[in-house]
A and B are shown apart, each in its own frame.
Chain A
Amino acid sequence: METNDRTVPPTETSQTPITRRQLLRLFALGATASAGSALLAACGGGTPATPAATSAPAPAATTAPAQGTASRPLTPSFYQWIVDLHPSIPQVNSTFAGLNFQIAPVEGFGIERFVAEGKNKESTWDVYVGMTPFVEMSQLIKADVIEPWDNYIPKDVIDDLIPSIRAECTVDGKLYSWPFLLDVIGMSWNSSLTEKAGISAIPTTWDEYLASAQKVIDSGAAPYGATYDARGWRSIAPFTHSMSSNVYTSEGLFDFTSDAAVEALQLMKKIKDIANPDILNEGTTDGGVNNTPDEGAFAAQQVAYYTKYFNAPLRFAQTGGFSDKLQMAGLPKFANGEGSTVFWTTGSCLFKYGQNKDKAAEYVRTLTYNQQIWQDSIAGSATAHPGQLPPYKSLYAGWDSNKPDWMQPFVSLVRTQLDRARGITNHPFGLTQFIIGKPFWEEFLTGKEADPKAALQKAKDAVAAEIKKAG
């Protein structure tokens, strides 16, 4: 009986519906096969695969997609802070039909997602707005993630860039960053505190700056005289530039042991002595580089003088409710110094494996020339007052010849400063050299090391050790 039951003619089998057991077996076989192949593929790959773009097609073998093969709408990606500070960006977006606007996954300036996608020769996005040349541009070039704008940017735009900004965005003669937002390190002060202290003159040298700050404390106008952001690219680098901007080695690294850097460190110690006591502490967002103690002290009107990129005092005077009392000027200089400072731009990079490259160039051009964005940035909007400026000569010339009623005095000040300022040289360690060196030069600031040059030598050695480790 049993045998008969099992001896089913083939024809009958083919007509019988599949049993649950058979279905499950098939499923198990399929799932095992897929798991096995996935595992084998993963083991054989150079890097773990990243999630594919939702609308991106499978990329061509090794080359960037050709312009004619774009199969998705233009997909720009922005660092969140830019969108927060510039409320007119949606207005630009509305002029590009079907634009797929996205926020970039770059919390803490992390570019790992971009690099991972680049290694798979794909990109979810076409253009990233939020790259600062000395911070991550060298790394993105090294990883072959971005390509130069030269083939896409119109010549009139290239010619319109302020030369120092163009130099900042160029590596090996190629423009990798299309600059957008300009920041320059300068001096600002809360005039309600300085007036209370009986100060009317604007300090132009560091000696005058220190004397005025001390007067603020002595008069009881504020508990602290002056403050700065202790991150190296916001303090020791611009202070050094105020003495001399010729402080970069042939490899493109900051020369920590230059005489100018030693002067700058001594100045930092003098300012620290009259500053908020937590001045050297890390910030609390973006890997410790933002929400820094200087911002809190200035917003809380605990300190009168402040050196940082101009959008910081603008934003924190707004937070503290004393925007009408905020004054700004160029960075003071040493008596025998060059009077330079540090600037950087935040710009756009073009993904090598992105699409819509001509369209991306058209978008970035529209974005960076948009008058409403610059009006909001300079005069302030209901949501923010970043005070960041454009990179184009023509815009400044236009405002000079026909001054808009919303124009602010600090614009010409920053523009003037820019002629004397210098960007930090691009290098894969452009930013991290200051993070690695900071604990060592701070030994002098905290009194652990009496000799500023010895402290800076330790910083230099630490950076060299890391570079050696990197091979």
Chain B
Amino acid sequence: MAIAVSKEAGGVRSRQSAYRLRDYTNWMFLVPATFFFVGWQIYPILRVFALSFTDYKYLETAPPNFVGLQNYVDAFSDPIFHTGLLRAFQFTVMFVPLTILLPLLLAALIDRVESPRLAFFYRLVLLIPAVIPGPLIFVLWKWLYDFQMGPINTILIEWFGLFTRQTAPQWLGGTPLSLPAVVIMEVWWGLGYHTVFFLAGLAAIPKDLPEQARIDGANEWQLFWRVTVPRLMPILSVLVVLRFGTAMSVIDEFLIFGGFQRTSPTYTWTVYMYDLAFKIGYWLQGYASAIGWLGALAMMVFVVGMLYIFRSRD
């Protein structure tokens, strides 16, 4: 009996060890992804975090010194950083509502188109900007906004007579209109892409739901706000959080349309961080890292707040 039990226990152990071995083998499949995740995501984040506690200057050949929280203290009292955060927030406040509400409205309208061909045509037209490469978009809008020969100013001056050549709006180049100009371009660029998200969400709403609501006496407005929007809330929350993050951290467009002029509304905290790290003087990368972390933390506070607002209430 004892021998039988012992044999049985040995067999179980052997099977367990085989399973464990198989489990270890399964881990191997995670190695490539882990390698890239650690090398391309975790390591840079940790490295920047470590740098933020040093006086690291990229052009200096001497090793950096540990300065504790000094960079963070300096950043808290740096007016350029404060202004930069405020400008990024102003851009976000203009950009996020437009980039969410316009596609939502468009999706609701396209969803009602009964002709499949027409609906396909609308989807196709809306998606065109989304498939144009970024550099082409920037060249196109730079030309559209050009003060002297751009079509927008030409239309405003020659068609509508709203301005003269001297008083025409200066859309780009660090003027107060620079931020709204970039917002318009960004909203246009992402319109089709975001509309497709909402169309996918609308397709998942059971068709009998609005019909039942209509039978219950709901008008179209009530239908939209009380039936459609709550069903789209998961998509809405994902888009709001994603777009908030990207809007607060925009840099390419600001560099292209506003350069490094510090009074430009496009000189946000991200441009300042880049300027410090790669342009000015000895390239203060330790300080720039602290700015980056503080900016990221400020964004995270808002993101957590938004995740709370959009939390599931089911």
Query: A46-B63, A281-B173, A467-B281 in contact; A288/B259 too (CB < 8 A)?
Result: yes
In addition to A28-B28, A35-B34, A281-B175, 14 A-B residue pairs with Cβ atoms within 8 Å of each other are: A28-B25, A35-B35, A39-B38, A42-B47, A115-B59, A223-B166, A277-B170, A283-B259, A284-B256, A289-B259, A293-B148, A429-B281, A432-B279, A439-B263
Query: Does the CB pair A278–B260 fall under 8 Å?
Result: no
A300 B147 Cβ-Cβ under 8 A: no
Q: Which residue of A lies closest to B149 (CB)?
A: A300
Chain A residues within 8 Å of B, Cβ to Cβ: 2, 21, 24-25, 27-28, 31-32, 35, 38-39, 42-43, 46-48, 108, 110, 112, 115, 139, 142-144, 223, 276-278, 280-285, 287-289, 293, 296-297, 300, 302, 428-429, 432, 435-436, 438-439, 442, 466-467, 469-471
Report the minimal beta-carbon distance from B279 to chain A, rounded to whole angstroms.
6
Q: Which residues of A lie under 8 Å from residue B278 when comparing CB positions?
A: 110, 112
* A442-B263 CB under 8 A given contacts A46-B63, A143-B58: yes
Is the pair A287, B259 in contact by a Cβ cutoff of 8 Å? yes
Check B107 for interface membership: any CB of A closer than 8 A: no
Query: Contacts of A282 on B, CB cut-off 8 Å?
Result: 172-174, 258-259, 261, 264
State in angstroms the CA–CA spacing of A223 and B283 once bound together: 43
**What are 5 A-B pairs at a CB distance below 8 A?**
A223-B165, A276-B148, A281-B174, A282-B264, A469-B284
Interface size class of B (residues with CB under 8 A): 35 or more
B31 touches which of A31, A139, A281 (Cβ 8 Å): A31
A145 to B152, CA, bound (A): 47
User: Which chain A positions have C-beta within 8 A of B263?
Assistant: 439, 442
Judge if B23 is at the interface, Cβ distance under 8 Å: no
* Tally of contacts, chain A with chain B, CB under 8 A: 146
Bound CA–CA A39/B42 (angstroms):
11
Residue of B nearest to A118 (CB): B61
Option from B34, B172, B262 in Cβ contact (under 8 Å) with A439 = B262
B231 within 8 A of A: no
Check B244 for interface membership: any CB of A closer than 8 A.
Answer: no
| B189 within 8 Å of A (CB atoms) | no
Chain A nearest Cβ from B18, distance in angstroms: 10
Query: What residues of chain A lie closer than 8 Å to B31, measured between beta carbons?
Result: 28, 31-32, 35
- Please name all residues of chain A whose beta carbon is closer than 8 Å to the beta carbon of B60 when the two chains form the complex: 142-143
Separation in Å of the A122 CB from the closest CB of chain B? 15
Assess the B280–A436 pair: CB atoms within 8 A: yes
Give Cα A443–Cα B69 distance, bound, in whole angstroms. Answer: 35
Q: How far is the CA of A44 from the CA of B32 in the complex (A)?
A: 22
Q: Are A2 and B11 in contact (CB under 8 A)?
A: yes
CB distance from B14 to the nearest CB of A (A): 7
Q: Tell me whether A281 and B172 are in contact (CB under 8 A).
A: yes
Task: Assess whether B25 is in contact with A25, with CB atoms less than 8 Å apart.
Answer: yes
Please, which residue of chain B has its CB at the minimum distance from the CB of A29? Answer: B28
**Contact flags B13-34 to A (C-beta < 8 A → 1, else 0):** 0100000000011011001101
Check: B121 CB closer than 8 A to any chain A CB: no
The answer, among B35, B59, B257, for a CB contact under 8 Å with A428, is B59
Report the minimal beta-carbon distance from B252 to chain A, rounded to whole angstroms.
Answer: 12
Q: Is the CB of B28 within 8 A of A25?
A: yes
Quick one: closest A residue to B27, CB to CB?
A: A28
| Contact, CB under 8 Å: B58 / A278 | no
Verify if B243 is at the interface (C-beta below 8 Å from A).
Answer: no
B39 part of interface (Cβ distance < 8 Å): yes
Contacts of A39 in B (CB 8 A): 38-39, 43
Identify which of B14, B43, B173 contacts A283 (C-beta below 8 A). B173
- A115, B58: Cβ atoms under 8 Å? yes
Residue of B with least CB distance to A45: B47
Task: Give chain B residues whose Cβ lies under 8 Å from the Cβ of A297.
Answer: 148
By a beta-carbon cutoff of 8 Å, the part of chain B in contact with chain A is 11, 14, 24-25, 27-28, 31-32, 34-35, 38-39, 43, 47, 55, 57-61, 63, 74, 142, 146-149, 165-168, 170, 172-175, 255-264, 278-284, 287
Given the complex of chains A and B, what is the CA–CA distance between A326 and B240 in angstroms? 55
- B residues less than 8 Å from A432 (CB atoms): 279-281
Q: Are B148 and A300 in contact (CB under 8 A)?
A: yes
* A-chain residues with CB within 8 Å of residue B58 when the two chains form the complex: 47, 112, 115, 143
Chain B residues with CB under 8 A of A276: 147-148
Q: Tell me the minimal C-beta distance from B229 to chain A in angstroms.
A: 40
Complex contact B173–A278 (CB within 8 A): yes
Q: What residues of B have a CB within 8 angstroms of the CB of A2 in the complex?
A: 11, 14
Pairwise interchain contact B173-A428, C-beta atoms closer than 8 A: no
CB neighbours of B147 from chain A (8 A) = 276-278, 281, 293, 296
Query: Which of B25, B74, B167, B281 sits near A21, CB closer than 8 Å?
Result: B25
State in angstroms the CA–CA spacing of A325 and B224 once bound together.
65
Most chain B beta carbons < 10 A, residue from A46, A108, A276, A470: A470
- How close is B57's CB to chain A, nearest CB, in angstroms? 7
Q: Assess whether B61 is in contact with A144, with CB atoms less than 8 Å apart.
A: yes
- Name the residue on B nearest A467 (C-beta): B281
Chain A neighbourhood of B57, CB < 8 A: 470-471
Whether A278 and B39, one on each chain, are in contact in the complex, defined by CB atoms closer than 8 angstroms, is no
Do A466 and B148 touch (CB < 8 A)?
A: no
Complex interface: chain B residues within 8 A of A296 (CB): 146-149
Q: Say which residue of A25, A38, A139, A143 sits within 8 Å of B39 (CB atoms).
A: A38
A323 to B57, CA, bound (A): 47
Measured CB to CB, the nearest residue on chain B to A34 is B35
Within the complex, the shortest CB–CB distance from A45 to chain B, in Å, comes to 10
Q: Is the CB of B280 within 8 A of A470?
A: yes
Which chain A positions have C-beta within 8 A of B287?
A: 469
The residues of A that contact B168 with a CB separation of less than 8 Å are 277
Min CB distance B262 to A, Å, is 5
Task: Write the chain A residue with the least CB distance to B258.
Answer: A282
Closest chain-B Cβ to A306's Cβ sits at a distance in Å of 14
Contact (Cβ within 8 A) A48 B47: yes
Residue picked from B27, B142, B174, most chain A C-beta under 10 Å: B174
> What distance in Å separates the Cβ of B271 from its nearest Cβ neighbour in chain A?
10
* Chain A residues closer than 8 Å to B148, beta-carbon distance: 276, 278, 293, 296-297, 300, 302
B173 CB to closest chain A CB (Å) equals: 3
Question: Would A277 and B259 count as touching, CB distance under 8 A?
Answer: no
A287 touches B35 (CB 8 A): no
What are the residues of chain A within 8 A of B258 when measuring CB–CB? 282, 288
Does the CB pair B261–A428 fall under 8 Å? no
Closest chain-B Cβ to A187's Cβ sits at a distance in Å of 22
**B55 to chain A: closest residue by CB:** A471
Does the CB pair B59–A143 fall under 8 Å? yes
**B147, closest chain A residue (CB):** A278
Query: What is the distance, in angstroms, from A3's C-beta to the closest C-beta of chain B?
Result: 9
* CB neighbours of A302 from chain B (8 A): 148, 165
- Given the known interface contacts A278-B170, A300-B149, A470-B57, the answer about A284 and B142 at a Cβ–Cβ threshold of 8 Å is yes
Residue of A nearest to B280 (CB): A432
* Most chain B CB within a 10 A radius of its CB, from A42, A282, A429: A282
Instruction: Find the A residue at minimum CB distance from B143.
Output: A284
Q: How far is the CA of A357 from the CA of B277 in the complex (A)?
A: 31
A469 to B57, CA, bound (A): 11
